[in-house]
Amino acid sequence: MQSDRLFDPISLGHLKLKNRILMPAMHMNMCRKFVVTDQLIDFYRERASGGVAMINVGYATVDELSGLPGNIGAHSDAFIPGLTDLATAIKDGGAAACVQLNHAGRYNFSMFLGGKKPVAPSPIPSRMTRETPRELEADEIPAIIQRFAAAAGRVKAARFDAVEILAGTGYLISEFLSPLTNQRQDQYGGSLENRMRFGLEIIRAVKETTGADFPLLVRINGNDFMPNGIGRDELKTFAVQLVDAGADALSINVGWHEAQVPQIVTKVPRGVFSYLARDIRNEVNVPVIAGHRINDPDVARQLIGAGSCDMVAMGRSLIADPQLPNKAREHRDNTIIHCVACAQGCFDNLFKMKPVECLCNPRVGKETETRAQMTEQPRKLMVVGGGAAGMSAAIAAAEQGHRVTLYEQSLTLGGQLHLAGAPPGREEFLGLAVDLQQQLADLDVQIVTNTVVDAPLLAEQKPEALILATGGTPIVPKVPGTDLPHVVQAWDVLAGKVTTGRKIAIIGGGAVGIETALLLAEQGTLSGDELKFLLVSQAETAEELYRLATTGNKHVTLIEMIDKLGANFGKSTRWSMLQDVKRAAIDTCPEAEVREITPAGVVIEQSGQRREILADTVVLAVGTRTCNPVQKMAAEQQIPCQVVGDANRPAMVFDAIHQGFAAGRDIL
């Protein structure tokens, strides 16, 4: 039997790793004034015990202008004790430990720098921060290089096994590298050789400080995806030069934070950017690590087996399921909780200045206090509703040893996860429904489907506790014409229960409205397989293939009362969704009030003017109201109960899963 390539050992310089899975550095915002906290240590301790070969923490700062107080500090000896505790926790858990060092450059914010301006090679404004940085003076640059080296020395002193330098993603080193942000006229600007100089001098200085035997990784972009930036060919040249300067491995990132190419959201296909790692691997003689949207062991195995990379970086995948490597090694892939790439709890939380959380894993950031404790008095628990909230509640209670039965009135579990996973590029939510069902099966939760819970059933079953997750129902607005035959609910469109005409007006421009619009706009466009066949066959021009891939059979208009579409999306998802709305030529009518639905369409009032939008089908996507018929019955029978998810208050999947988990844990 052929061995699993994912679990073959590999060496990074003098460091031997037990498998090919690396957890890359991600900003967790769990430090306080740069100091490592117990929260961060607990988070990484749990990931280390899950079987990953190496954990790379960070990024860590090299000076006071290089990061935020929530970053890991490495710019002072005062931070070494906390770094040592973190390294010890990771290594005790069975993983090698590495720290990523970085300088944010123009991606920092003056509000976190005591009013000081962030620094950069040139004073080019950042679209992300809306600030213009201060140009570094020539005599400041060598000092920053030495600060990188000094920080690397602290990493080694703290007993980490390796250090990584972040030289991509739009931060300082890549700002020097790119002509978009480097317009200097000295030895650090102009030619590619000069623009590479800053990064290469950092690598040499770090290597000199830490020694030849201390592994040095460098994380670079395979493509910046920035207009007038640095492209693949120059980045390959940079990669070769980095290895010559002392890099023992290269980790291939993609895109800057300002780039308009989606990188981390659900619509990005699994492993799609691995071609960038493959191209660089063909140029260098050190291990190359591929990352971005690798959330399943089979994808990782395929990439390694195909020679695209030597290792895989699985970051948010290990946030969602710390035990992913162990499960894969033990051939339990079907029990993995897959990251859905929603970015709601990880990336979006950073904009809110909150520690990282996870839609799929409610324990993130609370590993110690939420660890399941087996009860000494198992209780008979009934969970009503098999959507995200109900399944999460049943799992949490069963993990603590309670006898749990979950009732669902339909034939299948998953609830609105099936609606969330219906639009193009949102299929990961369908996978989450499957993952949660597998957890229920592993915990021996009894499932009863196609059953409505009523008063006689409650009286018959006599549960000791009750969790109500009966969800919600779509709202019908108080507008004349909602009872006309061509008016349908968005939920029914997403569920494939109704057909729609060629001209469609959608009332409601929130998340459900946009998802429905994109689903309908996609109809009639080329599929991925069709597009590849026609492209390879050179059947049409690239311009025509783009048109056929983005233009469908239906004309869709979105009508929204407020001035903002997709207001209830997470920040990371929203911009990508709005980009798709524009690309699909979906008409939008913000700040419009619906006055009437007619047989011909929808009458709206916008800016004081009335007009009619012609439509063969009118889709209602105006929100959700709670559906909670069981609570009164429970009160009459004096059964203690908790209400979660949309049954309590309409919210997002993230809230449903977290509320369900909390309710399940509260069963004592």
Under the banding of pLDDT at 50, 70 and 90, the label for residue 143 is: very high
State the pLDDT at residue 469: 98
State the pLDDT at residue 1: 56
Name residue 543's amino acid: E
State the pLDDT at residue 269: 94
Across the beta sheet with 380-384, what order do the strands follow?
Answer: 446-448, 403-407, 380-384, 465-468, 641-643
State the pLDDT at residue 191: 97
What does pLDDT average to over the chain? 96
Under the banding of pLDDT at 50, 70 and 90, the label for residue 547 is: very high
Q: How do beta strands 601-606 and 592-598 pair? A: antiparallel
pLDDT beyond 70 at 621:
yes
The residues with which 446 forms a beta bridge, in sequence order, are: 405
Task: Report how far residue 40's alpha carbon sits from residue 24's, in angstroms, rounded to the nearest whole number.
Answer: 15
Q: What is the dihedral of CA 262, 62, 76, 205, to 10 degrees?
A: 140
State the pLDDT at residue 463: 97
Indicate if 476-622 has the same CATH topology as 380-472+625-665: no
pLDDT beyond 90 at 16:
yes
Q: Going by C-beta distance under 8 Å and a sequence separation of 6 or more, which residues neighbour residue 271?
A: 290, 292, 293, 294, 299, 302, 303
Under the banding of pLDDT at 50, 70 and 90, the label for residue 17 is: very high
H or E, element range at 420: helix 417-420
pLDDT beyond 60 at 211:
yes
State the pLDDT at residue 668: 85
Structure tokens at 345: 């709890």
State the pLDDT at residue 388: 97
State the pLDDT at residue 187: 97
Helix (H, G, I), strand (E, B) or coil at 565: coil
Q: What are the sequence ranges of the domains in the chain?
A: 5-331, 380-472+625-665, 476-622
Task: Report how far residue 510's alpha carbon sits from residue 566's, in angstroms, rounded to the nearest whole number.
Answer: 4
Task: Report how far residue 405's alpha carbon sits from residue 385's, in angstroms, rounded to the nearest whole number.
Answer: 11
- CATH architecture of the domain 380-472+625-665 equals 3-Layer(aba) Sandwich (3.40)
Average pLDDT over residues 351-357: 92
Do 525 and 550 touch, CB atoms closer than 8 A? Answer: yes
Q: Going by C-beta distance under 8 Å and a sequence separation of 6 or more, which residues neighbour residue 47?
A: 23, 55, 93, 95, 318, 322
For residue range 47-93, list pLDDT tens digits in order: 999 999 999 999 999 999 999 999 999 999 999 999 999 999 999 99
Phi first, then psi: give them for residue 154, nearest 5 degrees: -65, -35
Average pLDDT over residues 512-540: 96
Question: What's the full length of the chain, in residues?
Answer: 668
Q: Count of CB atoms within 10 A of residue 515's CB? A: 25
Predicted TM-score of the model (pTM): 0.95
> Quick check: bond before 59 cis, omega within 30?
yes
DSSP class of 72? B
State the pLDDT at residue 600: 97
Q: Count of CB atoms within 10 A of residue 421's CB? A: 21
For residue range 402-413, list pLDDT tens digits in order: 999 999 999 999
CATH number for domain 5-331, candidates 3.40.50.150, 2.60.40.10, 1.10.645.10, 3.20.20.70: 3.20.20.70
Write down the CATH number for the domain with range 476-622.
3.50.50.60
Under the banding of pLDDT at 50, 70 and 90, the label for residue 570 is: confident
State the pLDDT at residue 508: 96
Structure tokens at 127: 């679209």
State the pLDDT at residue 308: 97
Q: Going by C-beta distance under 8 Å and a sequence separation of 6 or more, which residues neighbour residue 299?
A: 270, 271
State the pLDDT at residue 448: 98
Helix (H, G, I), strand (E, B) or coil at 332: coil
Average pLDDT over residues 125-143: 94
| Nearest residue to 257 (alpha-carbon basis) of 365, 141, 105, 359 | 105
Q: Going by C-beta distance under 8 Å and a sequence separation of 6 or more, which residues neighbour residue 529?
A: none
State the pLDDT at residue 572: 86
Under the banding of pLDDT at 50, 70 and 90, the label for residue 270 is: very high
